Chains A and B, each alone.
Chain A
Amino acid sequence: MESTPNPRVLVIMPAWNESEAVGNTVREVLNTDSRYDVLVVNDGSTDNTAAVAAEAGATVLNLPFNLGVGGAMRAGFKYARRCGYRQVIQVDSDGQHDPRSIDEVLAGLAHADISIGARFADRGDYKVTGPRKWAMQLLAKVISGLAKTRLTDVTSGFRAANVRAVDQYLDHYPAEYLGDTIDSLVVAIRSGCTVTQVPVEMRARQGGKPSHNPAKAAIYLGRSVFALLFALTRKRSHLAVPAPQASGA
């Protein structure tokens, strides 16, 4: 059962009480390309997210309690490795990420281990202001320096990974706040994974509104700096999968 190569792509969607949006998102992704398998990780939802997702045609991984995005994603990566998927991509269940961009983000895996669908890179009209913007710029700058490539949106949840990156993620993918984005990315880079970014457009969320509270944004800045500093001092992982010759260090 363990890692028989699988030519299909696993689309992982962490979902927590997303019954309104998840059905449509799953159907949309499945209709985009026949290579895609959708795995909805039901992160201890109290509504009928699991039933809606299963009805829409997704495989549903039911976590017995809420673990957070990082916890849900690691469960998804584990499933991907058991089933032998070569390519994995994380997509939001609220319909924020355009399923037609999945293929573009996956194309980035041709020359890197991790491919990020970036929200600011000259496409679309996604904008943030104030401390949240400074935080994102600071993070982007530091992580670009580490990855030796220009990254503009390191907190994007639209991220694809190959076998090498999944292996790395399984070694280190914290369930804490920002652990699923900054921490995992920084440690992956320091462990030798290569990163690239693909500009994508974001759509309006189907449910809920992004917050513009300056106090919350300031807390976000503090926490992201905290997460970054920790990630920079963490132990590297030893990857079992060797680097491909094209991107060899």
Chain B
Amino acid sequence: MGNIAAFLLALAIVGLVVEMLRRKKLREKYAALWLIVGVATLVLAAFPRLLNIVAEFVGVQLPSNLLFAMSILMLLGVCLHLSWEISVVEDETRTLAEEVAILRVQVEALSTAASTDSQVPSDSLATTPDTAGPHAAKPDTQHKGSD
């Protein structure tokens, strides 16, 4: 009975991971680990004798202890991996923040330079050159909305 429950649980996990992959909710690099875990659980649930054989082979008296030790190790690995990934992401965010700040300063400098220069070029492209005169008299009203 217990084995059937374990088998169904493992099947559900594998199904969930595959479905998330299909919907692009999970990247392959994270999914691989969970798929391996799911498949291993499936195999163990299907052939419970396997755990006893392995436990005997590596010298663990209680087969369930082997299972727990493996689970803890794996979870530790996953946590460490996630911490590493988030550090990478934070570093990338930092670089982006710097980039955005510098670009914003440069854009503001450009737009103030453009508005103090004159607005003749952008207007004269749309209309005939001789209407540029009255347009140029207008201050930088169009540029104010950019903030």
Q: Which A residues fall within an 8 A CB radius of B? A: 41, 59-65, 67, 71, 74-75, 78-79, 82, 175
Shortest C-beta distance, A53 to chain B (Å), equals 12
Residues in chain B near residue A62, CB distance under 8 A: 101, 104-105
Contact code string B79-119 (vs A, CB < 8 Å = 1, else 0): 00000000000000010011111101100000000000000
Contacts of B101 in A (CB 8 A): 41, 61-64, 75, 79
Q: In the complex, which residues of chain A have a beta carbon less than 8 angstroms from the beta carbon of B105?
A: 59-62, 79
Name B's A-contacting residues (CB within 8 A). Answer: 94, 97-102, 104-105
Interface of B is mostly: helix
Chain B residues with Cβ below 8 Å from A61 are 101-102, 105
**Is there an interface contact between A67 and B102, defined as CB atoms closer than 8 Å?**
no
* A75 contacts across to B, CB distance below 8 A: 97-98, 101-102
Q: For residue B100, which residues in chain A have a CB less than 8 angstroms away from its CB? A: 64
B96 to chain A, nearest CB (A): 9
| 10 A-B contact pairs sorted by A residue (CB < 8 Å) | A62-B101, A62-B104, A64-B100, A64-B101, A67-B94, A71-B94, A74-B94, A78-B102, A79-B105, A175-B94
- A241 CB to nearest chain B CB (Å): 21
What residue in chain B is nearest A66 (Cβ atoms)? B97
Q: Closest approach, in angstroms, between the C-beta of A176 and any C-beta of chain B? A: 11
Contact B98 A78 (CB under 8 A): yes
Whether the Cβ atoms of A79 and B97 lie closer than 8 Å is no
Q: Is the CB of A63 within 8 A of B102?
A: no
- The tally of CB-CB contacts under 8 A between chains A and B is 35
Q: Is chain A's interface secondary structure helix, strand, loop, or mixed overall?
A: mixed
Choose one: B97, B99, B104; the contact of A67 (CB below 8 Å). Answer: B97
Q: Which residue of B lies closest to A60 (CB)?
A: B105
Q: Which residues of A contact B94 (CB under 8 A)?
A: 67, 71, 74, 175
Cβ of B98: which chain A residues have Cβ within 8 Å of it?
A: 63, 71, 74-75, 78
- List A contacts of B102 (CB < 8 A): 61, 75, 78-79, 82
Chain B residues in 8 Å Cβ range of A63: 97-98, 101
Complex CA gap A74/B105 in Å reads 16
Top 6 A-B residue pairs of the complex, sorted by shortest distance between their CB atoms: A75-B98, A61-B101, A63-B101, A79-B102, A63-B97, A64-B97
Can you name 8 extra interface pairs (CB under 8 A) apart from A63-B98, A79-B105? Answer: A60-B105, A61-B101, A61-B102, A62-B105, A64-B100, A71-B98, A74-B94, A79-B101
Q: How far is the CA of A60 from the CA of B105 in the complex (A)?
A: 7
Residues on the B chain within 8 Å of A71, using CB: 94, 97-98
Most A C-beta atoms less than 10 A away, residue of B99, B100, B101: B101
A65–B102 Cα distance when bound, in Å, is: 14
Query: What is the bound-complex CA distance between A62 and B104, given in angstroms?
Result: 8
Within the assembled complex, what's the spacing in Å between the Cα atoms of A60 and B94?
A: 18
Instruction: Name the A residues within 8 Å of B99 (CB-CB).
Output: 78
How distant is the Cα of A30 from the Cα of B98 in the complex, in angstroms? Answer: 24
CA distance A175 to B92 in the complex (A): 12
Nearest Cβ distance between residue B89 and chain A, in whole angstroms? 14
Kindly provide the distance from the CB of A125 to the nearest chain B CB, expressed in whole angstroms. 37
A61 to B105, CA, bound (A): 6
Task: Report the separation of the CA atoms of residues A60 and B102 in the bound assembly, to the nearest whole angstrom.
Answer: 9
Nearest A residue to B96 via CB reads A64
**Chain B residues in 8 Å Cβ range of A79:** 101-102, 105
- Cα(A79)–Cα(B104), bound, Å: 11
Max chain A Cβ within 10 angstroms of own Cβ: one of B94, B99, B100: B94
Closest to B99 in A: A78
